[in-house]
Amino acid sequence: MFEFLNTTGLRKWIPQMIEEAKREMVIIVPFIKTSKNVYESLLEADKRGVETLMVYREESLKPEEKKKLLAISNLNLLHHPNVHAKCYMNESHLLITSMNLYEYSELNNREMGILIDKSIYEYSSDSPIDAAIEEIKKIINSSTLEKESWETKELGFEIDIIKDRRGRAEDYCRKLSKVFIHKRFEVLEHQNGNYGHICKNYSDNIDIIYEHRIEIDIIDSNEIIRNIYYSIPRGEYSYEGFKFYWNSLKSGIYLYADSNHEMWSNISEEEDKMRLMRSGVDIVIEEIKKVK
């Protein structure tokens, strides 16, 4: 969940976070004078297509350091007149620390920081990650853009890792709508403050909610629901490649990927998983239609 880091730990983790970034990296520090190790990590990330967003304090960057940063193609460089925060964030971790991106600090200062595993708070309604992202967005909004990344030039300024949970849910709905073609998903806000993805009337009187599982809700009379309940296959492994649960007339139908089945063995892309889950939903709905 949390890991305390001293100077030695920070020297390890700051370049490691850059190296582990898959698509995006955010760095907010007042002062920058990159060590060879950190700068090489930034260049390697650039070669991998990682988009880096960096905010520093206005007038604190020396010409030779600016020249180095301007050589990073996929870098958004911004400055802020009074930023004093120091944080580093990629897709999986957030590091809040006293250390600048500064070689002298790495070698001489007594520094400390807290490393947070973001996955711990993925479904939390009271997440410190959300509060940190909100502050990061405010800093970025009030900064001056000095250099655009090539992605910003080509596609516009959009950094996914600084989106809040609703923003991420909206993005996921767009992906689902693309995979499910003519089905339209929208954000579903739960009472606990979390967000899901719902397609209303996926089939006549049937809604589906797509999260870590799929919930199929039949919106019909008790008599029709009872007839379906006792007519369709309801065993855990009734549908090949999926786990199926319908435990009572008052509950929804729950469909999970059967991770032990060979059909899931080579699935790594999210959209491929969505397509397979769609096939499972359609199989179950066809069984329901036979009864209705």
Examine the domain organization and report whether 176 and 264 are in the same domain.
Answer: yes
pLDDT at 125 over 80: no
Examine the domain organization and report whether 14 and 121 are in the same domain.
Answer: yes
Last residue of a domain, one of 163, 179, 197: 163
pLDDT at 136 over 90: yes
For all residues of the chain together, what is the average pLDDT?
Answer: 93
Examine the domain organization and report whether 47 and 151 are in the same domain.
Answer: yes
Q: How far apart are CA 44 and CA 233, in angstroms?
A: 53
Examine the domain organization and report whether 130 and 8 are in the same domain.
Answer: yes
Examine the domain organization and report whether 14 and 133 are in the same domain.
Answer: yes
Examine the domain organization and report whether 30 and 131 are in the same domain.
Answer: yes
Examine the domain organization and report whether 188 and 51 are in the same domain.
Answer: no
pLDDT in tens, 146-165: 999 999 999 999 899 998 88
Examine the domain organization and report whether 148 and 171 are in the same domain.
Answer: no
Examine the domain organization and report whether 176 and 71 are in the same domain.
Answer: no
pLDDT at 124 over 80: no
Examine the domain organization and report whether 145 and 238 are in the same domain.
Answer: no
Last residue of a domain, one of 163, 190, 205: 163
pLDDT at 205 over 90: yes
Last residue of a domain, one of 119, 145, 163: 163
What residues contact 227, with CB distance under 8 A and at least 6 apart?
291
Across-strand partners of 187? 197
> Could you tell me which residue, 197 or 192, shows the higher pLDDT?
197
Count of domains observed in the chain? 2
Examine the domain organization and report whether 172 and 192 are in the same domain.
Answer: yes
Q: How far apart are CA 208 and CA 200, in angstroms?
A: 7
Contact 106, 35 (CB under 8 A): yes
pLDDT at 126 over 80: no
**What is the band of 123 on the pLDDT scale with cuts at 50, 70, 90?**
low
Contact 76, 156 (CB under 8 A): no
Percent of the chain past pLDDT 90, that is, above it, reads: 83
Q: What is the mean pLDDT of residues 107-126?
A: 85
Examine the domain organization and report whether 194 and 150 are in the same domain.
Answer: no
Percent of the chain past pLDDT 70, that is, above it, reads: 98
What residues contact 131, with CB distance under 8 A and at least 6 apart?
none
**CATH label of the domain that carries residue 114:** 3.30.870.10
What's the pLDDT at 164?
A: 83
What domain range is 128 assigned to?
2-163
Q: What is the mean pLDDT of residues 66-81?
A: 96
pTM more than 0.85: no
